[in-house]
Structure 1
Amino acid sequence: MTAPASPRPDADQRPLPSRRTALGLAAAGGLAVSSLGQAARASAAPPVRPMSTILPETVSGLADGLDLQSSKAWHLARRVCPAPTAAIAKEITTRGYTAWIDRQLNWKKISDTKADALVKKHLSFATMTGIAVYKASRKQAWIAAKAMSTSRTIRQVFTKRYLYESMVDTMADHLYVSADGKASEFVAWFDWAVLRKYALSKYSSMLYAAIRHPAMLIYLDNQLSTRTAINENLGRELLELHTVGVGNYTEDDVLNSARLLTGHGVDWNKRTYAYTPGNHYVGAVRIMDFEDPNTDLSKGPALLKAYLSYLAHHEATARHIARRLAVRYVSDTPSDDFVASLAKVYLDNDTSLAAVMRALLLSEEFAASVGAKWRRPQETMATMIKLRRPSTIKAPKNQQLKSVWDITGTVQWLLYRENHQPRMWPVVNGYPDQAPAWMATQALLGHWYSANARVNWGNDKQWPSDYSSWASALGVKKGQVITEVAKKLTSTITGYTWTDEHLAIVVQRLSDGGTGSTLSSDQVKYNLGPALHFIFASPYFMLR
């Protein structure tokens, strides 16, 4: 990699928690979580019948001994929704599994007026071009990156385009540009002009737009690369991260890739992409099987387009993209055969990401992967917020110029503590999406702290709700049978049918201090919070 080393160790170097260090769940009541830090492994569940609405019972590879039973609808919701809820699972069941997927893939037909309106009202910089935000922000264009980062939480909570927003985040980690760095004033523009525009379109189109965007050109130093002073950053990462992947190119390929990219930079007066012929390297280039005499300076842009198309349609790129999507939506360790099948769909459909996602979500491998993925902090945070049923965002006028992080209350600070603020990963490879990165002791403690904050600190005033409390938002009332409330809460929040042993802990939390079988007003007031914190801290909630 060409970027500075991460201040956080790589996932495989981080210490993983032992049973003894998994403090939260033990303190919360002894929910057994064995070998919590193991790398994920594919579920051994038998194939699911196509018409079955309940998936076979599975033992999670991420929490040994935790028996999981889930409906197909909930499994789909957990994997593709930034903030899955029981209402979404019901929508999937009502509309039909395949029909719901097809509707989500056709995202432009889904109205998302609330999410769009809230972002436009409070975070307008996140919707502007580079030059527009430079002028509107009074030359504080870097604020646009923070506005975009903040907007991600708003969209994750309020969106109806669940799969689309999930793919925006997935491809943002693939074609990564940090919101906290030298390209910050262009990152918001990159978000909507590249990631949001092509999230479910052709990867060839997305790649072409990304490599010619000022954000990528600046982030990976290509605007500094000239025929006499070649910078290899973009040339290398284009091969290693964005297309064919490690092991499929040589150092000579990297050098020639960088040579081909010279001259492609930024017009700082217009704040747009610009090609400068005088900076372009002249001479034959060969990258893998792509070659060109490269003798005509005026043909630099056409050469770049042909090169990027070659890379996007390469078999190694197909496997790389297929594995990226399989790791995000199926398992940390997808089988080579499954990856190959998705790669074939990618190539057969002219690099269509939507076609790959449809094949993935309708596959037996996906259906059999219950319990094989671990959620990341942005997902758990958005879900906890959504469960509180906010109706809007409430912030002072022009807050993005004064204190942009405060628009969503304590959320950005909590995500910072969990090392998962949107687009703030300090390395060029984007946030990891494999369990060990988010199951280390620090990560688990960070989530438990955030769960406590969402439950016990009171609702942020920036997220007003028509429901005055967690009890009213979740329909918990005095006089309800405690065991039934426990079943309802665990099912509604996680989508899993909890074992009697684990359900008993929730019952104990709800009934603490009482002897009756129904909830008293004091139990609703004082005991619901600890019960919710336990549910949010459990692996049932953490499994994607």
Structure 2
Amino acid sequence: MTDAHRPARTSYRPARFPGAPLLGTQERHLVGRFSYGVTPALAAQVRAAGGASRWFEQQLQPEQVADRRAVGLRAWWPSFDRGPADLWERQISEVEGGWEVMEDYARWALVRRITSHRQVLEVMTELWENQLNVPAVGDAQFTYRVSYGDAIRQHALGRFEDLLHAAITHPAMGIFLDNAVSTAKHPNENLGRELLELHTVGRGQFTEDDVKASARILTGYRVDLWDSWEATYSPRDHWTGPVRVMGFSDPNADRDGRPVVRRYLSYLAHHPATAARIARRLAVKFVRDDPPQALVDRLARVYLDSDTAIRPVLRALVASPEFKASVGTKVRDPGEDIVATYRVLRAELARPPAGRAGDEHAVRAMLWQVGNLGTSPFSWPRPDGQPIDSESWSSPSRVLASMDVHWTLAGGWWPKKGITYRTPAQWLPRRRIRFDLLVDHLSQQLLHRGSTATLLRACCEACDIAPDEVVSAEHGLVKWDFHRLLGTVLDSPAHMTR
């Protein structure tokens, strides 16, 4: 029905379809911020846990959350368990390029985020992999990049001190920021500087002399680049002698400098400036781009009082009035958008075959889709990691790119291999249903909230259907144009934010 034929006083008052109970606004807010999209299945898990707060507490102990299917995804890519020398040999022999392994690593992350029941762990792992960024691209660090991700995941909900130590001393970080070739005679300052500037205290807290001392402390961690790729600690390459970085000082007399590295990283992890930066990062990610200073200060105190443990800080964050008041203020970044869209459409993904035979499969295509929105997982080239603010992902070009992907997936047009989409008829909750009720049903299914007058009108105009028109499996909407309806719901601000 065109505007010329639609009654002048068409009412767009939303109808209410009697579906499964919806989470309340604050429950949906909590679950949505700490997951990759509230689906009917996730809402059922929240209700089974006794509500969002209890679900969140369960999520903070991920080892207690059954996740067999997501854990099994790793077997889709056998090269993840190959050693660095084997990976390098396969690259130079042109059996499998390192870039191919790393693209698969990014795909694994996306599919894991779609599938996993340990949603908070997935969200926090991504957060720290950005904070302690080691790009997956690169002809050297790729050899250790999967192992690096495993280390981040292991500590993602633990103490920041332990996370920091695992990351800074890991061969992947050492290769990326040149600590793997840093020696007592020729200390390389890259990691020593970024440790201070990006990973802990931040700019304005240290001097160039601090950077030099930081680099000297970190010497000794080596990787035999381009040959055996063995990662070792070499006492003869550790610089010895008194060191001072800000308020940290140490005689540093032992050739084995690993204990002094542990003491140094502990000092940085417990520094008030680090506490403030970690608190602000969490507040930006989960509250809003410009979090109140009072919230940051409170979270920093919890962090320090809890010996750098992350769980107490997250509990304090979600209990804060600032978090509760931040409903709808965060824009999904490209990865979050793609993952949330696959999740709510309930598309079933199959394991891609090895080699070129899998090029057209959905799991591989997914990486190209997210790249078209602005960036792919682990591809940010600089040490600072991809942005976590909303403004960076709110350009008109990003919105248009997202709309294109939403409609492509809503129509099931691409990808077509290795994926099973729900049919239009499967989205119908009844054999015959009024259009306004169908819009509300889909709003509940895809957005986990009731429809609004704005959404109903947008759907009516996109599909050229009046609110009271009856839809069945034989209706033209279901036969030819259902992508217009699904796509309009997915293009709504409620789906573009978390």
**TM-score bucket (shorter structure):** 0.7 to 0.9
Q: Does 1:195 align with 2:152?
A: yes
Q: How does 1:44-59 map to 2 (within 5 A)?
A: none
Q: Does 1:330 align with 2:287?
A: yes
Q: Does 1:503 align with 2:456?
A: yes
Distance (Å, rounded) in 2 between the aligned partners of 1:82 and 1:381: 9
Distance 1:403-1:217 versus aligned 2 partners, 3 A rule: farther
Amino acid of the residue matched to residue 97 of structure 1? Answer: A
Partner of 1:428: 383
Aligned-residue offset at 1:315:
1.4
Distance 1:187-1:134 versus aligned 2 partners, 3 A rule: same
Aligned-residue offset at 1:283:
2.7
Partner of 2:478: 524
Distance (Å, rounded) in 1 between the aligned partners of 2:131 and 2:25: 30
Q: Secondary structure at the match of 2:133?
A: coil
Distance (Å, rounded) in 2 between the aligned partners of 1:77 and 1:476: 25
Q: Secondary structure at the match of 2:257?
A: helix
Distance (Å, rounded) in 1 between the aligned partners of 2:349 and 2:373: 25
Aligned-residue offset at 1:103:
0.6
Partner of 1:294: 252
Q: Does 1:281 align with 2:239?
A: yes
Partner of 2:432: 479
Say whether the 8 Å CA contact 1:198–1:205 is kept in structure 2.
yes
Q: Secondary structure at the match of 1:168?
A: helix
Amino acid of the residue matched to residue 456 of structure 1? Answer: G
Q: Secondary structure at the match of 2:433?
A: coil
Aligned-residue offset at 1:450:
1.4
Partner of 1:64: none
Amino acid of the residue matched to residue 190 of structure 1? Answer: Y
Q: Secondary structure at the match of 1:111?
A: coil
Distance (Å, rounded) in 2 between the aligned partners of 1:107 and 1:392: 24
Q: Deviations over 1:105-139 (max 9, x none)?
A: 0100111111121221x113234553464578767
Which of 67, 72, 81 aligns to 1:117? It is: 72
User: What residue ranges of structure 2 are gaps of 5+ in the alignment?
Assistant: 1-20
Distance (Å, rounded) in 2 between the aligned partners of 1:93 and 1:248: 46
What do you get for the CA RMSD once the two structures are aligned?
2.7
Distance 1:253-1:471 versus aligned 2 partners, 3 A rule: farther
Say whether the 8 Å CA contact 2:220–2:235 is kept in structure 1.
yes
Distance 1:516-1:98 versus aligned 2 partners, 3 A rule: closer
Amino acid of the residue matched to residue 500 of structure 1? Answer: A
Q: Deviations over 1:438-482 (max 9, x none)?
A: 0112222221221122123436345433x642441x345552110
Aligned-residue offset at 1:273:
3.2
TM-score, with structure 2 as normaliser: 0.87
Say whether the 8 Å CA contact 1:217–1:234 is kept in structure 2.
yes
Say whether the 8 Å CA contact 1:388–1:470 is kept in structure 2.
no
Q: Does 1:237 align with 2:194?
A: yes
Say whether the 8 Å CA contact 2:184–2:237 is kept in structure 1.
yes
Amino acid of the residue matched to residue 253 of structure 2? Answer: T
Partner of 1:67: none
Q: Deviations over 1:201-223 (max 9, x none)?
A: 11111111111111000011112
Q: Deviations over 1:211-268 (max 9, x none)?
A: 1111000011112222332321101110111111122222221121112112222145
Say whether the 8 Å CA contact 1:131–1:270 is kept in structure 2.
yes
Distance 1:222-1:301 versus aligned 2 partners, 3 A rule: same
Distance 1:513-1:102 versus aligned 2 partners, 3 A rule: closer
User: What residue ranges of structure 1 are gaps of 5+ in the alignment?
Assistant: 1-52, 56-69
Distance 1:442-1:83 versus aligned 2 partners, 3 A rule: same
Which of 256, 259, 275 aligns to 2:216? It is: 259
Say whether the 8 Å CA contact 1:118–1:393 is kept in structure 2.
no
Partner of 2:262: 305
Q: Secondary structure at the match of 1:410?
A: helix
Partner of 1:60: none
Distance 1:470-1:106 versus aligned 2 partners, 3 A rule: farther
Distance (Å, rounded) in 2 between the aligned partners of 1:431 and 1:93: 34
Partner of 1:144: 101
Amino acid of the residue matched to residue 451 of structure 1? Answer: H
TM-score, with structure 1 as normaliser: 0.80
Distance 1:315-1:361 versus aligned 2 partners, 3 A rule: same
Say whether the 8 Å CA contact 1:322–1:342 is kept in structure 2.
yes
Distance 1:278-1:219 versus aligned 2 partners, 3 A rule: same
Partner of 2:38: 84
Distance 1:145-1:444 versus aligned 2 partners, 3 A rule: same
Distance (Å, rounded) in 2 between the aligned partners of 1:198 and 1:127: 20
Q: Does 1:157 align with 2:110?
A: no
Which of 402, 411, 422 aligns to 1:447? It is: 402
Q: How does 1:353-372 map to 2 (within 5 A)?
A: 353-372=310-329
Q: Deviations over 1:150-171 (max 9, x none)?
A: 1011101110001000111011
Q: Does 1:183 align with 2:138?
A: no
Which of 381, 393, 413 aligns to 2:368? It is: 413
Distance 1:150-1:404 versus aligned 2 partners, 3 A rule: farther
Q: Secondary structure at the match of 2:249?
A: strand
